[in-house]
Structure 1
Amino acid sequence: MSKKNMWSLKLSTAALVLIPAGVGINYVGKAFAEFLKLPLWLDSIGTILAGMLSGPIVGAICGAINNIIYGLTISPVSFIYGLTSVAIGLVVGILAYKGWVKNVGRAVLLGIIASVVSTVVSTPINIGFWGGQTGNVWGDAVYASLIAKHFPMWIASFIDEFVVDFPDKISTVVIAYLIFKGLPEKLIILFRGDERIEKL
């Protein structure tokens, strides 16, 4: 992807098609995690893949639409968590552009960065809407334990979120990375709106 395209609002047809596809992948990931009762969300695979393929703008749009749909169909509170999804899409899109999807080691590191970003953005929301909890059984057990030991709410809430986000975002980024690496190079260039492909 050429530098001038990273923040371009002129999206290729392939990039526009990628957005609903990414939202669909998010739904499948979330349903899979819930069905198996995993201590993960897996609801950002499509957002992260979109960021890897088409950059931060498409990643952010995919994340925002995903939460708008969640807000309309599952819980209105999902609207505010759109901030987290947008942040993840932006960060992954930027770092992917910078070459952070070259190997699985970089993908794991990208997952760690995404988990920190998600935790920082989500923690104030959790405190404002849920008294600091995440709604995840594993994370909230940690939260309850820390509160019982008289930790400040914001620290307990931050750790609660991070305990879930850390494995979730690493798993999510690695899954998205494996999908990304499995795609033909010509298709990847097409999603990125490279003029060389547009002219073919």
Structure 2
Amino acid sequence: MTAQFSLNPWHLSPQWRIGIGAAIVAITYAGLISARPDSVHGGVGGPAALLALCGYTLGAMLIVSGAVAGLPTTTVALLPVAITINIVMGKIVYFSGLPLQLDSIGTVLVGVLAGPAAGAATGALASIVVGMTITPGALPYAVTAALIGFIAGTLARAGWFRRVPTALLAGGVIGVFAGVVSAPITAFVFGNAGGTVGQSAVIATFQAYGNSMLKAASLQGIIADPLDKALTVALALTLLAGLPSGYVHRFPFVQRYRVLAVHRLVPRGT
């Protein structure tokens, strides 16, 4: 019997794909931080932009492929709906000019219902879809979107979404991590001009007071993102409250970790 070997990375196990993807993301992040370009990089053709686009997109795609491989049909069917919610809400807020995003509602919803891997896959897929079809600048942020879904699922598993106060606190925690991870992308890839008009105005204000590009982007993220993600969680909980208990009951993650209030774990009519 002849052994067959394949160099195709997609034949790796889901765990290996997620691990390699996460490693690529970490190396890309470290590369941006260590390079610290101090001037505008020349847009999407500059070295920093290419590093972020290639590293984050490849890492996100590997993470998505590994995460989706183990998802049940019920969860996979929810992904297109969640991604659509992200895109629609994100565009509405973008054109409003507010220093918010609200483009992760579907990501948080899936993370709470189906766990960290499903949440990460939803966030990354949404950014990749937007980046490939509407706004190329969304591609580097796929890693941030994946992190949002992963943390939402992790905190849901720990019971933070059983009560509204702790769920909103979870949103704040998610926002801090999202702000820190996004800052190097906003600063070094887009010259602090890649967000909404409101976000750019806040960053410009911080820079006017002598803060560096990275520090200005980090301050904006740490201040605005926790509020943004708390509102995101509140809206996700509102959508979740409107779902039939029987549908929510179909997700094994909800049952196994009792992520929601007890009355939400009992299907209607039982």
User: Which of the residues 61, 64, 81 maps onto 2:141?
Assistant: 81
Structure 1, unmatched stretches of 5+, are 1-6
Please point out which of 227, 231, 239 is paired with 1:171: 231
The structure 2 residue matched to 1:115, chosen from 175, 198, 202, is: 175
Secondary structure in structure 1 of the residue aligned to 2:125 = helix
Residue in structure 1 matched with residue 202 of structure 2 by the alignment: 142
Question: Does the Cα contact within 8 Å between 1:132 and 1:157 map onto a contact in 2?
Answer: yes
Alpha-carbon distance in structure 1 between the residues aligned to 2:149 and 2:90: 17
1:182 alignment counterpart: 242
Which residue in 1 is equivalent to 2:44? none
Counterpart Cα distance in 2 of 1:67 and 1:154: 22
Query: In structure 2, what is the Cα distance between the partners aligned to 1:100 and 1:43?
Result: 21
Gaps of 5+ in 2: 1-66, 257-270
Give 1:57's aligned residue: 117
1:167 offset after TM fit, Å? Answer: 2.3
Structure 1 equivalent of residue 87 of structure 2 = 27
Q: How big is the alpha-carbon RMSD for the aligned residues of Structure 1 and Structure 2? A: 2.3
Equivalent residue letter for 2:241: K
Distance 1:141 1:83, change over 3 A: same
- The alpha-carbon deviation at position 38 of structure 1 amounts to 3.7
1:10-67 Cα deviation digits (max 9, x unpaired):
3221111011111011122123324544432111100110001100111111111101
Distance 2:200 2:167 in 1: 27
Distance 1:152 1:39, change over 3 A: closer
Larger radius of gyration: 2
Contact 1:138 1:164 in 2 (8 A): no
In 1, the alpha carbon distance for the partners of 2:95 and 2:197 equals: 15
Q: TM-score, normalised by structure 1?
A: 0.85
TM-score, with structure 2 as normaliser: 0.64
85-94 or 140-149, which deviates more = 140-149
C-alpha distance 76-31 of structure 1, shift in aligned 2 (>3 A): closer
Establish whether residue 152 from structure 1 lines up as the match of residue 186 from structure 2.
no
Rate the CA distance shift 1:76–1:110 in 2: closer, same or farther, 3 A.
Answer: same
Question: Which stretch has the larger CA shift, 78-87 or 30-39?
Answer: 30-39
Aligned residue pairs: how many?
A: 190
Percent of residue pairs identical: 37
